[in-house]
Structure 1
Amino acid sequence: MEKELIKKMILNCLKQYYSTESMPIGEKDLEDLINRILLVKVEEPKADLHEIINDTVYEFLTG
């Protein structure tokens, strides 16, 4: 799976919560999110990627 695609999807997901100027995520957190998403996708190959990303970003923001 393409990490750049997932990164772009994460950033698009974050836009629904924050404006682009005030995104609460650094490069390390972004890399951690990408790795978490890839892990879930490997564990659940039939899961929808959009749902995985939305759930992971929500957990990151509320956790």
Structure 2
Amino acid sequence: MNEKWLKKFVRNCLRQYGRDTEAFPLTDSEWADLYQNILLEKQTNPDMDIYEVVHDVVYEYVTK
């Protein structure tokens, strides 16, 4: 999975949920957690579309 594309997609999802990524960028550890959660979720549910996986993981992150 292309990490650069995934970062851009996660950034766009965060904006949709109202988080200003310019003012509050993700730390390296936050990004690593999101990236690992996305990969794990995709491995657990291979039939799920990657867009759905990313939105689910980002939503869970935002609502914590």
TM range (shorter): 0.7 to 0.9
How many percent identity over aligned positions? 38
Structure-2 residue corresponding to 1:8: 8
Moved over 3 A (4+): none
With normalisation by structure 1, the TM-score equals 0.82
What CA distance in whole angstroms lies between the structure 2 residues aligned with 1:15 and 1:31?
A: 19
- Runs of 5+ in structure 2 lacking a partner? none
What CA distance in whole angstroms lies between the structure 1 residues aligned with 2:10 and 2:41?
A: 15
Equivalenced residue count is: 63
CA-atom RMSD in angstroms: 1.5
Shift of the 26–56 alpha-carbon distance from structure 1 to 2, 3 Å rule, reads same
- Runs of 5+ in structure 1 lacking a partner? none
Structure-2 residue corresponding to 1:51: 52
What CA distance in whole angstroms lies between the structure 1 residues aligned with 2:29 and 2:21?
A: 18
With normalisation by structure 2, the TM-score equals 0.81
SS in 2 for 1:53: helix
What CA distance in whole angstroms lies between the structure 1 residues aligned with 2:54 and 2:24?
A: 16
